[in-house]
Amino acid sequence: MIKALQMQVNALADTLDQQAATTPEHGVYIGGYGEMHLNLNNGKDNEIDYHRFVLFFGKEFNQRTRFFSELELEHSLAGEGKPGEVELEQAYVEYDVNDSTKARAGLFLLPIGILNETHEPDTFYGVERNNVEKRIIPTTWWEGGVSLSGSIVYGVSYDVAIHSGLNNEEATIRSGRQKVAEATANKAAYTARVKYTAIPGLELAVSGQYQDDILQGAGDDEIGAGLIEAHAVYQKNGFGLRALYAQWNIDSDVESAALENIGASKQNGFYIEPSYRINEKVGVFYRNSQWDTNAADSADSEVTQNDIGVNYWLAETAVLKADYYRQEKAGDLSGTGYNLGVGFSF
C-alpha cells in the first residue's frame, strides 16, 4: 500500500514537472553586471564614469531550445548629445543539435580572445579592460549571424560562425563595428576557433576571422582583412597567468581612401598578465602590453603599457579594484595615472 502510494506521488511529480516545462513562466531568468570607474590621469582631466550597466534576460523554451539576451547602457546617460548609448549586445536563440553540438542564430559575441565572451568585472584584473583586446580584437565585438559549437574529443572544442562584418571607411578596426544596427551587409565575415581545456585550470585557444571586404562593397576594389588570435589562460591554486597575441592583416595592395595611412594594413598587439590570488578576498596582478595600430609603417608607432594593481572581492561576484599604469609611445613617456573601480555581476 505504501509503495503504491509512493509510486503515485512520483508519477504526479513527473506530470507537474512536464506541465511546468511547457508554461511561459518556466525557465525565465535574469542577471546582469555593472562597473563604475574613477580615472586619475596625471597631467590630464580626471574622470568618473559609470561605464556600463548590463541586464541579461533568458528563457528556456524546452530542454533543447533557449534564448539569451544582453541589454547595455554605456556611460550612464544616452540620447542626443549625451555621452552614452543603449546597445543590444546579445540576442540569440540556441538549439542543441545533439549532446555535443549547439547552434545559434541571432546577435552574439564572437568567439575571439579572452574577454570578448566573458567580461564581467569580477572575472578579470584591472579597472579598465586591457588595450590589446580593446583596440586590436576589438572587444566588445558582436555580430548577427549563425554559429555552430561543439566538442571534437574530450577537452577539445570548436566554434564556427558566418555573420555580419566590419565597415571600415578609415581602416580603424574598432570604429568599423556596425553593431548590427541597420548594418551594411554586402559582404559577410567568417570566424572560427579551436579551444583546448583537457588539463584542469588550462585553456589554450586559436581563433581566426576573415572578411572579403571591410568597405562592404563601397569601394572600387575589395579590401580583404584577416585576424589571427591565440591565447593561453592558466589557473592553479592562487597563481594565474593570461597571455594573448592578435594581429590584423589588411590588403595593402588596393589603393583606397580607407587606407590612406598604409601603416594600418597591419595591426597587432600582445600582453602577458601574471596574477596571484592571496586569499578569497585579495588578488594582485601585473600586466605588460604592447599594441600598434600602424604596424606596417616604418615609423615607430608601438605603444607599451605596464599596469600593476589589486582586486578586493567583497563577495564572490562583487569587487573593488585599484591599479597604476605607465604608458610609453615610441619609447617616450605618454601617460601615467591611477584607476579606481567597483564592479559586480549577478
Residue 13 vs residue 84, higher pLDDT = 84
Asked whether 330 and 300 are in contact (CB, 8 A), the reply is: yes
Alpha carbon 274 to its chain centroid, in Å, reads 20
Asked whether 141 and 163 are in contact (CB, 8 A), the reply is: no
Helix (H) or strand (E) holding 20: helix 2-21
pLDDT tens readout for residues 140-192: 999 999 999 999 999 999 999 999 999 987 657 899 999 999 999 999 999 99
Residue 76 vs residue 10, higher pLDDT = 76
Instruction: Tell me the domains of the chain and their CATH numbers.
Output: 26-345 (2.40.160.10)
- Torsional sign, CA 306, 309, 313, 314: negative
State percent of the chain over pLDDT 70: 89
Indicate the SS3 state at residue 112.
coil
Confidence of residue 257 (pLDDT cuts 50, 70, 90): low
DSSP per-residue letters across 143-170: EEEEEEEEEEETTEEEEEEEE-----TT
Distance in angstroms (rounded) separating the CA atoms of residues 130 and 270: 10
pLDDT tens readout for residues 109-130: 999 999 999 999 999 999 999 9
- Whether omega before 65 lies within 30 degrees of 0, making that bond cis, reads no
pLDDT at 195 over 60: yes
Assigned C-alpha cell, 272: 602577458
**Whose CA is closest to 149, among 103, 111, 191?**
103
Confidence of residue 20 (pLDDT cuts 50, 70, 90): very low
Q: Which residue do the cell numbers 516545462 mark?
A: 21
If you average pLDDT over residues 82-102, what whole number do you get? 97
Round the average pLDDT of the chain to a whole number and report it. 91
